A and B are shown apart, each in its own frame.
Chain A
Amino acid sequence: MPERQAKRRGMRPGGERGERGMAGEAGSTANTGEMAGAPHRTPLSDAMRRFRRSGVGMSAFVVLCILFVVGVAFFVLGRAGVHWPYDPNATELEAKLKPPSLAHPLGTDNLGRDVLSRILHGTYVSLTVGFVVVGISAIIGTAVGAVSGYAGGWLDNAIMRIVDALMCFPSFFLILTVIALLGPGLWKIIVVMGVLGWTGTARLVRAEFLTLREMDYVVAARALGQRTVPIIFRHILPNALAPVFVSAVLGVSGAILTEAGLSYLGFGVQPPQPTWGNIVADGRTYVLDAWWLIFFPGVAILVTTLAFYLTGDALRQALTPSERKTE
């Protein structure tokens, strides 16, 4: 989806200049100019304080926590065989396509399954996809970007040309092609999306490394005889992580939307396992008769992705103080 791609490039956290939010070994006591009273203020605690103050960001974060609890709770309940409010796969044909009522708050689908139960039991799928996909791509992207940015020279050039080539692909279409040819399945989707989605992070980390490797503390570490690997991972990486973290939180939304789109097209998690995307896919035949089959799962997707975007945006503002004036 190009708009997602555009958004990822456009709303890239602006950690290029100014103070860095994460406290590494270096610079943690550098900006003590406005320190007033508090004995142990670090850039990280400052950022946390700024984040807690942002009303929109905190509300979104609370929503995320609730979603997380719901996802875990219903995953455990489902595994334990406790079906509440209903068994998400129990069919009841005499109650099919019933509009929302007291017995079924969000209505029933074409097989008489309770939509609320299906949405609740599908929560963990979206969250798992979001977190694991972003985790995979953040790890690959950080590693590749760190090596590329620190090494420089021909290695950097070669890696960046590969990244350029991968970024040329129409992303949603590429993922669709691979999934369609591999066959559907939760873990296949996660791996494919994660393995194809690291290029943005790699560029971000590389850009950070290009500036950070010239810093005095890196030169000092090298002069003291530190080996390359500890320099990359202990000295530079902690200072480059803030933008990666922000782009990862924003990236969860994109992953959830892509998974929902794939599920909707029938390439996602297979029925009867309910996911937000395939509830809509099941309901599309009845689009004019049963609006609740389309509406409520869509609201669930919308609320989740919105919460991740707003949390990520608030984090970006908290971690990059130089951008705060534009909030």
Chain B
Amino acid sequence: MLTFLIRRVLIAIVLLFVVSVISWFIITLTPGSPLPWSELNPKISQQTKDLYRKKFHFDKPLHVQYFLMMRDLIQGKLVSNKDERPVILKIGERLPATLALNGVSLILTFGFGIPLGIWSARYSGRWPGTLSTVGAFLAISLPTFWTSYLLCIFLVKYVQVPILGLRTFGVEHTSFVTLMLDYAWHLFAPALVLAVGGIAVESRYIRASLLEALSADYIRTARAKGLPEAVVLYKHALRNSLRPFITGIGFLLPGMIGGSVIVESIFGYPGMGRMGYQAVLERDYPVLITLNLVGAALVLAGNLLADVLYAVVDPRVTLE
């Protein structure tokens, strides 16, 4: 167990190094300048530009830039090109909102995905099974910006609840209950949009592994014993098909950055996805590199977490 963890962490460090080099190449070799002003802007003196370049090390050769940036990143001193605030601090500010959004989205994903998967496995081969297959693909095919806007239109016109941002303006002076309800509404809409695809994927996973379990010998035995179908399904089969649950948890972590760029932009939600989008627009190299690295670290952490959990729940799986 310990050697497994140590080996995986060492591999992860090597991979993160490769990721940092690749991101650095992609970001610096593409045309364009990180300076906040146009090169031709006559109001900015050459001296100012040189000072800016010197300050953020853009006057040095590329490999030196890379090492300086990585040194600052590891020491936690890396600052944004745009507002000169530490990148760690900027990400830390966004983290609670991101965690809340993805947490609610995860609850929705499992809350709907698992029952749907059970239902479609149970009626596999009959019309409800076909319906659920088509339904799952339909949900995966939904463009997130489209569902976001339709949900916006629906909520604003018919339900009339606030949705944009994190809280309604001026709500700070109301009671605790109003505050919480307000927060819940702001969280619910983007989380639902984010969860739709996940629900479909999760239900497909559950369905596939449940179907596999249902064709096993011990299920035939359970049925032959005369156990009620509900006990066979929920106690015998379902317990042995919960791997997708773990896979889903493993995928949650990496989703926190890339998955929510569009949804967070539409709902004005202050999470890490929107921060990445803004950093792309502003060519904020330190933030971009850090976010790519954090994203890669989350993918690796998610995979590792899933592998460890598999071994925890299933005694047949051993960590080699």
Chain A residues packing against B (C-beta within 8 Å) = 1-7, 10-11, 56, 161-162, 164-174, 176-178, 180-183, 253, 257, 260-261, 264-265, 277, 280, 284, 287-288, 291, 294-295, 297-298, 301-302, 305-306, 309-310, 313, 325-327
Give the contacts of B148-170 with A (CB-CB under 8 A).
Answer: 149-150, 152-153, 156-157
Cβ-based interface call for B30 (8 A): yes
Bound together, the chains give a CA A172 to CA B255 distance in angstroms of 10
- Contact check: which of B157, B247, B255, B265 meets A265 at CB < 8 Å? B265
Going nearest first, the 4 A-B pairs with the smallest beta carbon separation are: A170-B258, A298-B146, A3-B197, A2-B255
- Interface pair A2/B15, CB less than 8 Å apart: no
Residues of the B chain whose Cβ atoms lie less than 8 Å from the Cβ of A298? 143, 145-146, 149-150
* Alpha-carbon distance between A161 and B125 when the two chains are bound, in angstroms: 41
Given A287-B153, A291-B153, 17 new contacts (CB under 8 A): A2-B254, A3-B140, A3-B259, A4-B140, A6-B201, A7-B201, A170-B259, A171-B258, A260-B143, A261-B144, A302-B141, A305-B141, A309-B141, A310-B134, A326-B124, A326-B208, A326-B212
Asked whether any CB of chain A lies closer than 8 Å to the CB of B32, the reply is: yes
| A301 pairs with B143, CB closer than 8 A | yes
B19 at the interface (CB under 8 A from A): yes
With an 8 A cutoff between CB atoms, is B296 at the interface?
yes
A326: chain B residues at CB < 8 Å are: 124, 208, 211-212
Residues of A close to B208: CB separation below 8 A: 10, 326
Contact of B311 with A by CB under 8 A: no
> Which one, B218-226, B227-235, B277-285, is touching chain A?
B277-285
Contact across chains for B258 and A1 when beta carbons are under 8 A apart: yes
**When the two chains form their complex, are residues A177 and B137 in contact, meaning their CB atoms are under 8 A apart?**
no
CB–CB B30/A178 < 8 A? yes
In contact, B201 and A310 (Cβ under 8 angstroms):
no
Instruction: Give the contacts of B243-268 with A (CB-CB under 8 A).
Output: 244, 247-248, 251, 254-255, 257-259, 261-262, 265
How far is A2 from B144 in the complex, measured between Cα atoms in Å? 12
Contacting pair B292 A181 (CB below 8 A):
no
A306 & B137 in contact (Cβ 8 Å cutoff): yes
A168 touches B197 (CB 8 A): no
Q: How many A-B residue pairs have CB under 8 A?
A: 185
* Docked complex Cα distance between A168 and B293 (Å): 9
The verdict on B86 contacting chain A, using a C-beta distance below 8 Å, is no
Give Cα A91–Cα B14 distance, bound, in whole angstroms. 56
Q: Does B114 contact A (CB under 8 A)?
A: no
The complex places the Cα of A298 from the Cα of B143 at a distance, in Å, of 7
CA distance A166 to B273 in the complex (A): 20
Chain B residue nearest in CB terms to A180: B280
* Cβ contacts under 8 Å, B299 to chain A: 167-170
Known interface pairs A284-B149, A294-B146, A309-B141; A10-B205 also in contact (CB < 8 Å): yes
Interfacial residues of chain B within 290-305, with CB under 8 A of chain A in the complex: 291-292, 295-296, 298-300
Which residues on the B side are within 8 Å of A162 (C-beta)?
18
Judge if B22 is at the interface, Cβ distance under 8 Å.
Answer: yes
A2 to B198, CA, bound (A): 9
Which of A168, A295, A309, A327 is close to B125, meaning CB atoms less than 8 Å apart?
A327
CB distance from B247 to the nearest CB of A (A): 7
Please report the total number of B residues contacting A with Cβ < 8 Å. Answer: 68
State A297–B143 Cα separation when bound (angstroms).
10
Give residues of chain B (98-140) contacting chain A, Cβ–Cβ below 8 Å.
Answer: 124-125, 130, 133-134, 137-138, 140
Find out whether the CB atom of B292 lies under 8 angstroms from the CB atom of A294: no
B26 near A: Cβ within 8 Å? Answer: yes
- Known contacts: A1-B144, A177-B26. The answer to whether A280 contacts B149 by CB under 8 A is yes
Distance, CA A11 to CA B205, complexed state (A) = 8
Residues of B within 8 A of A294 (CB): 146, 149-150, 153
Once A56-B130, A181-B26, A313-B133 are accepted as A-B contacts, the answer to whether A170 and B254 lie under 8 Å apart by CB is: yes
Closest residue on chain A to residue B244 by CB atoms:
A10
Asked whether any CB of chain A lies closer than 8 Å to the CB of B242, the reply is no
18 intermolecular pairs with C-beta atoms under 8 Å apart: A1-B258, A3-B197, A4-B197, A6-B198, A6-B248, A6-B251, A56-B133, A170-B254, A170-B296, A173-B273, A174-B26, A176-B280, A177-B292, A260-B145, A264-B143, A265-B262, A291-B153, A298-B150
Q: Which residues of B contact A11 (CB under 8 A)?
A: 204
CA distance A264 to B156 in the complex (A): 22
Say yes or no for B271: interface residue by CB 8 A criterion. Answer: no
Least CB distance from B136 to A in Å reads 9
What is the CA–CA distance of A111 and B248 in the complex, to the nearest angstrom?
Answer: 45
Contact (Cβ within 8 A) B197 A280: no
**B31 close to A (CB within 8 Å):** yes
- Establish whether residues A173 and B140, one from each chain, have CB atoms under 8 Å apart when the complex forms: no
Determine the distance from Cα of A51 to Cα of B31 in the docked complex, in whole angstroms. Answer: 48
**A residues within 8 A CB of B198?**
3, 6
B142 proximal to A (CB < 8 A) = yes
Q: Which residues of B contact A253 (CB under 8 A)?
A: 140-141
- Taking a contact as CB atoms under 8 Å apart, the answer to whether A181 and B19 are in contact is no
Instruction: Give the distance in Å from the alpha carbon of A325 to the alpha carbon of B214 in the complex.
Output: 12
Complex Cα distance, B153 from A294, in Å, reads: 10
Chain B residues within 8 Å of A169, by CB? 19, 22-23, 292, 295-296, 299
- Within 8 Å by CB of A10, from B16, B18, B31, B204, lies B204
